[in-house]
């Protein structure tokens, strides 16, 4: 029997405008700031029994490309974005089980504030919350929080280590049976079962305890995407689920997963407790020709707007890519304090070839009928060994939601490789189901 795998959705470009340039825009594009299209997505995911949706985030209007914010605003690329934590309760109210994972940066939140927010969301969703733990990368965001630039790349992960330690201890500061609710005594909570954490570290100081009981999951699942050696080390230590591009081949996916699992074992963790999910951008239609046509149209459209992708590369690395010749290989000496794993992949390639692979959405080509794409996904996961896929499409429309949730996923379910019903209520339990 085939081993089942997990499905999640990466809401790339966060809580921002989605379908405004689509052929199927919906009649409510000017109301992009309302939760409606995201609610439709979450309902589709609940029907299809996805594990979770990550709501990407960043909190600045970037100006790295050509020293100007114009291209970002022109394409609604990275801006505008509303706060992902605001979206979560709307999605939770509209669905029953799908997990909800807002992105919250350790460079922007104080640990107590973040621990409290996530604890509150875990209570009110009855255990469906995860935390996408990021360090931030673009200096423009650091400038919105009182700094000139971000800390050095690897030190950000040192900060994240201490941050995750404080946050997880706050989440566990109340014993599971601390709330007594004894009306006669009277005793709401037993003080002997609630402890301060008295943390004094290199970066943070926090007394605790958190001012709310342990939430349904207690220690909320942590999601992480660090791709550099230091990032992977952090993820192996803390993450319950890791999201990654995967490198575009079965070999690279397998190698990445094996490395994470080995590092996790070195930290004394059970590697099976970490679910590695690989980005996938399926393009689905009723026939192979129709799907390929759509793929060609998407690529042609992307190639018409090279500055959209150049500005994205600039934002991730802090390097202004308008300075380079499109057809000259990028110099080997380039360094970044932003996404090191992304830059490492680009060095030695020409910007044009990087953009072409961007416009084809890099990675493995999942273009075809639901039957074809479902079969391909099943085969790939079988070879990689796990643990699942993370669907993404930055500017999806409602048609895309249906294609994936009501076309592709039923094919995966028919093959017995993804779940047909949730076995549990909590996100962590669903992640650990297989
Ligand atoms: C699928 C995926 C989702 C990510 N989501 C976010 C995000 O929402 N916000 C953010 O600041 N960074 C995000 N990142 C960036 C990662 O947190 C990390 O900075 C990046 O992968 C580079 O890792 P490195 O610095 O270890 O090379 C994401 C990365 C990936 C691959």
pLDDT at 167 over 60: yes
Res. 341 pLDDT band, cuts 50 70 90: confident
ipTM: 0.97
pLDDT at 40 over 80: yes
The torsion defined by the Cα of 58, 326, 152 and 278, in degrees rounded to 10, comes to 60
Res. 289 pLDDT band, cuts 50 70 90: very high
Q: How far apart are CA 267 and CA 258, in angstroms?
A: 14
Which residue's CA lies nearest to atom 31 of ligand 1?
244
- Fold that domain 6-172+202-288+365-431 belongs to in CATH: TIM Barrel (3.20.20)
Ligand 1: centre distance to CA 420 (Å): 30
Ligand 1: centre distance to CA 195 (Å): 34
Looking at residue 303, its pLDDT comes to 86
Q: How far apart are CA 195 and CA 169, in angstroms?
A: 10
Percent of the chain with pLDDT over 70: 99
Q: Which atom of ligand 1 is nearest to the CA of 234?
A: 26
Looking at residue 361, its pLDDT comes to 65
pLDDT at 66 over 80: yes
Determine if residue 153 is labeled as part of a ligand binding site.
yes
pLDDT at 2 over 80: no
Q: Which atom of ligand 1 is nearest to the CA of 157?
A: 26
Ligand 1: centre distance to CA 57 (Å): 10
Determine if residue 59 is labeled as part of a ligand binding site.
no
Looking at residue 238, its pLDDT comes to 97
Pick the residue with more confidence: 245 or 432?
A: 432
Looking at residue 301, its pLDDT comes to 87
- Each residue of 313-325: pLDDT tens digit? 999 999 999 999 9
Ligand 1: centre distance to CA 317 (Å): 11
Q: Which atom of ligand 1 is nearest to the CA of 10?
A: 1
Mean pLDDT of the 182-198 span: 98
Res. 357 pLDDT band, cuts 50 70 90: confident
| Mean pLDDT (the chain, rounded) | 95
Res. 362 pLDDT band, cuts 50 70 90: low
Q: Which atom of ligand 1 is nearest to the CA of 105?
A: 11
Query: DSSP letters of 353-403?
Result: HHHHHHHTTSSS--EE-HHHHHHHHHHHHHHH---EEEEE-TT--HHHHHI
Tell me the CA distances in angstroms from 61 to 68, 77, 140, one per residue in order. 10, 9, 7
Mean pLDDT of the 198-227 span: 97
Q: Do 77 and 311 touch, CB atoms closer than 8 A? A: yes
The residues facing 367 across adjacent strands are 283
Which pair of tokens denotes residue 335? 């360094």
Res. 359 pLDDT band, cuts 50 70 90: low
Which residue's CA lies nearest to atom 25 of ligand 1?
339
Q: How far apart are CA 135 and CA 154, in angstroms?
A: 10
Res. 226 pLDDT band, cuts 50 70 90: confident
Opening angle at CA 403, ends 401 and 406, nearest 5: 90
Which residue's CA lies nearest to atom 11 of ligand 1?
136
Q: Is 183 exposed, middle or buried (0-12, 13-18, 19+ CB in 10 A)?
A: exposed
Mean pLDDT of the 240-250 span: 92
What residues does ligand 1 touch, defined as CB less than 6 Å away?
Answer: 10, 56-58, 103, 105, 132, 134, 136-137, 153, 225-228, 231, 243-245, 279, 339-341
Backbone φ and ψ for 187, nearest 5 degrees, come out as: -145, 110
Determine if residue 57 is labeled as part of a ligand binding site.
yes
Ligand 1: centre distance to CA 351 (Å): 21
Determine if residue 228 is labeled as part of a ligand binding site.
yes
pLDDT at 1 over 60: no
Q: Do 220 and 127 touch, CB atoms closer than 8 A? A: no
Q: Is 181 exposed, middle or buried (0-12, 13-18, 19+ CB in 10 A)?
A: exposed
pLDDT at 355 over 90: no
Q: Do 84 and 55 touch, CB atoms closer than 8 A? A: yes
Q: Which atom of ligand 1 is nearest to the CA of 132?
A: 8
CA atoms within 13 A on the CB side of 140: 21
Which pair of tokens denotes residue 112? 């107590």
Determine if residue 358 is labeled as part of a ligand binding site.
no
């Amino acid at each position: 029997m085939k081993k089942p795998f997990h499905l999640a959705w990466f809401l790339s470009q966060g809580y921002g405008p989605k379908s405004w340039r689509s052929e199927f825009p919906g009649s409510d594009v000017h109301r992009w700031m309302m939760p409606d299209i995201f609610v439709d997505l979450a309902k589709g995911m609940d029907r299809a029994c996805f594990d979770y949706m990550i709501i990407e985030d960043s909190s600045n209007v970037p100006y790295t490309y050509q020293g100007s914010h114009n291209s970002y605003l022109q394409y609604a690329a990275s801006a505008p974005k509303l706060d992902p934590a605001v979206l979560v309760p709307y999605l939770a109210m509209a669905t029953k089980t799908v997990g909800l994972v807002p992105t919250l940066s350790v460079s922007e939140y104080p640990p107590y504030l973040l621990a409290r927010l996530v604890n509150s969301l875990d209570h009110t969703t009855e255990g469906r919350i995860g935390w996408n733990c990021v360090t931030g990368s673009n200096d423009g965001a650091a400038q919105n929080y009182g700094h000139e630039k971000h800390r050095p790349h690897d030190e950000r992960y040192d900060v994240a280590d201490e941050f995750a330690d404080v946050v997880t201890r706050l989440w566990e500061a109340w014993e599971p049976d601390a709330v007594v609710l004894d009306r006669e005594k009277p005793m709401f909570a037993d003080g002997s079962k609630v402890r301060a954490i008295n943390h004094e570290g290199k970066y943070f100081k926090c007394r605790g305890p958190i001012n709310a009981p342990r939430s349904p999951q207690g220690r909320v699942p942590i999601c992480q995407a660090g791709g550099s050696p230091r990032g992977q080390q952090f993820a192996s230590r803390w993450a319950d689920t890791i999201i990654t591009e995967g490198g575009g081949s079965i070999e690279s996916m397998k190698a990445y997963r094996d490395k994470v699992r080995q590092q996790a074992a070195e930290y004394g963790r059970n590697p099976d407790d970490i679910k590695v999910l690989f980005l996938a951008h399926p393009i689905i239609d009723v026939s192979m020709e129709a799907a390929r046509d759509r793929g060609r149209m998407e690529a042609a459209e992307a190639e018409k707007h090279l500055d959209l992708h150049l500005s994205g590369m600039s934002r991730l690395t802090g390097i202004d890519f308008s300075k380079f010749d499109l057809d000259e290989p990028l110099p080997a000496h380039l360094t970044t304090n932003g996404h090191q794993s992304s830059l490492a992949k680009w060095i030695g390639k020409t910007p044009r070839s990087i953009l072409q692979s961007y416009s084809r959405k890099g990675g493995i080509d999942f273009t075809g009928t639901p039957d074809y794409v479902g079969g391909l996904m099943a085969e790939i996961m079988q070879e990689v060994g796990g643990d699942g896929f993370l669907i993404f499409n930055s500017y999806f429309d409602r048609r895309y939601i249906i294609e994936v949730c009501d076309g592709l996923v039923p094919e995966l379910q028919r093959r017995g490789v993804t779940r047909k019903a949730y076995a549990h209520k909590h996100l962590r339990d669903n992640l650990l189901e297989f």
